[in-house]
Amino acid sequence: MRTHKNYKIFKALAALLLLAMTSTANAQKVSISNNLLYDATLTPNLRVGVRVAPHWSLGMTAGYHPWPTDDRTSRKFRHLLLSPSVRYWKDSVNVHHFFGANILYAHYNVAEIKFPFGLYKSVRDERREGDMVALGVFYGYSWPLGRHWNIEALAGVAVGYANYNRFECGHCGKKIGKEDGVFAMPQAAINIVYVLPGRPKKQKPVEPVVPVVIAPVVEETVEAVPVVPEPEPQPKPIEMLKSANPFIHDISEYQPYDRSVALRRNKEVLYVHFPVAQSTLQAGYGNNSQVMDRIIDVTRKMTADSTFMLSKIQIVGLASIEGPVAGNEKLATDRAMALQRYVQDQLQLPDSLFDTVGGGEAWADFRDQLQECADKESPEIAAELQQALDITDNVRDANLRESKLRHLNGGQTWQYIKANILSNQRNSGYVRIYYEDVEVTENKQ
């Protein structure tokens, strides 16, 4: 196969991309895959992918078909294919839906090949040798099969440019012309994927140690019977985990989110906070780092224990009462989804495990804290806060309710509310994790 200037340029680009992928491989998730459809053409192929962001990955695909090496053979499908690609994953890298774009380069020597669906009919009667470059887009879906294995399917289309020489037949060297042009081609793949470092490993529960007591020797004609005390019951792993993490609950305790219920007094939840008007999850904001690490650590332990099953992760997003209702509804939903995406990026959990909702403006929590402030303040301030409580309870339209609160007592009451209440409302609501006892479930079945 001849060397082409475009081929040399593309080799340099491919080397640079592979170097960048290799430099990040130690810190990022790596996948190695093989296209089974491409294998059907007897073409060895491999793709290496690297996660570069929570929802983005880069990859390089290579395929090489050197046969037949004898130029006297008429039928040929000799080619080299290189294809760098970028993928956007809707959930997290190597999980479920993805969209992508790729560049394809191929140097080929093809003759007497019948492509499916009537494509490239002229190659059936003559030999073509040349190069092609194309830009493609595709959609795919990846199914996790275990700790390290996925299977994924994708389909798409590519448009490109080809420059090639034409020959009379597959084994003769008589050139009949040189052509170039624009073309379109389909893309398809069924890939078997190996993922490193893999998903959390299931751990076997530790069997309790049963003490054995050896009875002393007694000088009697009657043989003494050794007494073995009953072992003390060992607490289940989930009970030990719950004792240190009260936000873990049995699935029988699950209740959907109710906007009329104040969450701030619930000590059996975790809170993640956000800056004003933002939905980006920041580890360095407040005590978010410790809370985020705790969520991941506990969830990982629950997925690794076979005595119980992770059943549901409940996340409620909230916004303060400041600003238009419509904007705060979206802000609350985005905050909840930001936390869900963080957990999925760390642990590769499916969407079906999450009960993620936007709770909108936290009026129930606002009223609860307003009442608490009124109960402890001086009579003068308490009277003003009681007026705010009356507005909160009796004005049905949320936008009008906020406006009245802002103008109450010339804005003086609103300044108190901003300083003492609103700063605590910008959070992702609460996080509760539910489990199901495997032994109980099996007995029910």
Max avg pLDDT among 122-131, 151-160, 284-293, 328-337: 151-160
- Please give the share of the chain, as a percent, with pLDDT higher than 70: 79
Dihedral pair phi/psi, residue 278, rounded to 5°: -120, 150
Same domain for 267 and 160? no
pLDDT band with cut points at 50, 70 and 90 for residue 53:
confident
Residue 428: predicted pLDDT: 60
Per-residue pLDDT band for 208 (boundaries 50, 70, 90) equals: very low
Domain assignment of residue 253, yes or no: yes
Residues 38 and 142 in one domain: yes
Give yes or no: residues 102 and 249 share one domain: no
Give the per-residue pLDDT at 392. 93
Mean pLDDT computed over every residue of the chain: 82
Domain range for residue 336? 237-362+425-444
pLDDT, one tens digit per residue, over 304-349 is: 877 788 889 999 999 888 889 999 999 999 999 999 999 998 888 9
List pLDDT tens digits, range 5-20: 555 555 655 565 555 4
- Say what the pLDDT of residue 45 is: 95
Distances from the Cα of 208 to the Cα of 6, 211, 309, 402, 440, angstroms = 67, 10, 20, 59, 20
Burial class (CB in 10 A: 0-12, 13-18, 19+), 391: middle
Residue 148 belongs to a domain with what CATH number?
2.40.160.20
191 and 52, same structural domain?
yes
Note the pLDDT tens digit of each residue in 314-325.
Answer: 999 998 888 899
pLDDT digits (tens, 9 = 90+) for 65-112: 988 877 677 788 889 999 999 999 887 788 889 999 999 999 998 887
pLDDT band at residue 232 using 50, 70 and 90 as cut-offs: low
Please check whether residue 412 lies inside any domain of the structure: no
Residues 179 and 241 in one domain: no
Note whether residue 188 is domain-resident: yes
Give the chain's domain count: 2
Residue ending a domain, among 134, 167, 196, is: 196
Q: Which CATH number does the domain housing residue 253 bear?
A: 3.30.1330.60
At a CB cut-off of 8 Å and minimum separation 6, what does 408 contact? 384, 387, 388, 391, 414
